[in-house]
Amino acid sequence: MGIDYYGVLQIKRNSSDLDIKKAYRNLALGFNKVKSGAIFSLIAEAYEVLVNPKTRAIFDQYGEEGLKRGVPGPNEFLHAYRFHGDPMKTYSDFFGTTSPFADLLDYYQNPREIYDLPLEGRGFRVKQPAIYHNLYLTLHEIFFGGVKKMKIQRLEYTSPDQSKTKVREKILSIPIKPGIPAGTEIVMPEEGDQNPTQLSADVIFVVHDRPHEHFMRETNDLVTQAQISLQESLLGTMITVCTIDHRTIRVPITDIVHPGYEKVVPGEGMPIVDEPGERGDLIIRFNVQFPPYLPKSSKAMLEKAFYLAKVAGGRDQHELINKMILADKIMRVCPDEQLPPF
C-alpha cells in the first residue's frame, strides 16, 4: 500500500486548496529545525502532489503507485510523477525565503525610520482626490462673461468639534471670463466633502459649449452658414447677420461664391481672453441652392455669357453674365408693356 499524502498533512480527502496550504505551513514550521530530514521531505512531497489539481486527481484515483508509475489519460499517457527531492525548494517557494521569520528579524534589527510611515500615520491630513463636473455654457454666456451659479451637495460639519457631518446644499459662484475657451478647468478650492481625517477635495468645473442655433465656435472665431441661390453666388448678394451680441450687420458678397469660399468679417467673433478688447472673426460659409430647372433660352444665355467671359480671360465675368441676363429680361417684356416710340 502506498503513501497517503492526506495522512501526511493530517487533513481530510475533501480538503480545500486553502486547507492544504495551511496544513503544510503548520507542519513546515514545526519541522523547520530538521529541514534535511526524511519527514520534512515527505511533507514537501505531499504538499506538491495535493496542491497541484492534476497530480491530486491522479492520486485520488490511482494512489501513490499509479501516480509514480504513470497512467493512461483520455488523450495521452500521463507520465509518472517524480518528486524533485529538494524540500528546501518547496519551503522557499512557499514562504518566499528559507526562513519564514527573516522579515521579522530584519525589521527588529533594522526598524524603519518614522519618515517611512504613511502621512496619515504621522498626523497629516491627506487631501481627497479632485471632483470634476461638466459646466455647459451658452455662447452668449461665454461672450459676455459674468458669474455662473451652480448648486452642489456635500458633507459639512454639524458639530463644533468637527466630528459629525451632514449632507447640505451649497451654491457656488463660478467666475466666467469673456471668451473663456472650451476645456478650461475652473478650480473651486476645497469645496468637496468635509472630513475630519482628510482635507476637502477641490471641485473642478470643465467648460463646454452648448450648441447654438446659428453659430459654432472655432477657437476665437464664430462660424455661421448662409443659404444663397446660384444667381446670388454668381452675381453677388447682401447677407444679413444677427450677431451674438444682438446687433444686425449687413455683409456684401461681391466675389463669386465657389466651393470652399468663406467670407471673413474681422472683429465680429468671440472675445480673446488673453487680449482684452480684441475679438476673433466672423466666418460665413455658404450653401448654394441650385435651381431645379432652367429653360433652354436661359441655358443659351448662360452659355453665351460663359463663352464671353472665357474670351475675356475671366475678367469682369460676373458683370458680363449680369448684362446678358438683363438683356434677356428686356427682350421678354410684353409688347403691351413696352413704352411707345417717341
Q: How confident is the model at residue 342 (pLDDT cuts 50, 70, 90)?
A: very low
Amino acid at 41: S
Q: Specify whether the CB–CB gap between 207 and 135 falls below 8 A.
A: yes
The whole model's pTM is what?
0.53
Residue bearing the bigger pLDDT, 120 or 195: 195
For 95-115, give the DSSP string.
HSSS-TTHHHHHHHHSPPPGG
Q: Which three cell numbers stand for residue 89?
A: 525548494
Equal CATH topology for 126-209 and 216-289: yes
Domain extents in the chain: 5-109, 126-209, 216-289, 296-337
CATH for 5-109? Answer: 1.10.287.110
**Residue in this structure with the C-alpha cell 482628510, named with its chain if needed:** 198
pLDDT digits (tens, 9 = 90+) for 310-336: 776 655 555 656 666 666 656 655 555
With pLDDT > 90 as the criterion, what percentage of the chain qualifies? 38
- The bridge status of strand 221-229 relative to strand 126-127 is unpaired
User: What share of residues in the chain are helix, strand, coil (percent, to 5)?
Assistant: 35, 25, 40
Q: Is 267 helix (H, G, I), strand (E, B) or coil?
A: coil
Stretch among 19-33, 187-201, 225-239, 314-328 having the lowest mean pLDDT: 314-328
Q: Is the pLDDT of residue 114 over 60?
A: no
CATH 2.40.40.20 fits 216-289, yes or no: no
Mean pLDDT within 293-305: 85
Closest CA to 244 of 144, 137, 146: 144
pLDDT of residue 115: 47
pLDDT of residue 319: 61
CATH for 126-209? Answer: 2.60.260.20
For residue 59, how many other CB atoms are within 10 A of its CB?
A: 25
pLDDT digits (tens, 9 = 90+) for 264-284: 999 999 999 989 889 999 999
pLDDT digits (tens, 9 = 90+) for 36-45: 578 888 888 8
Distance of alpha carbon 135 from alpha carbon 158, whole angstroms: 29
Stretch among 54-58, 101-105, 147-151, 293-297 having the lowest mean pLDDT: 101-105
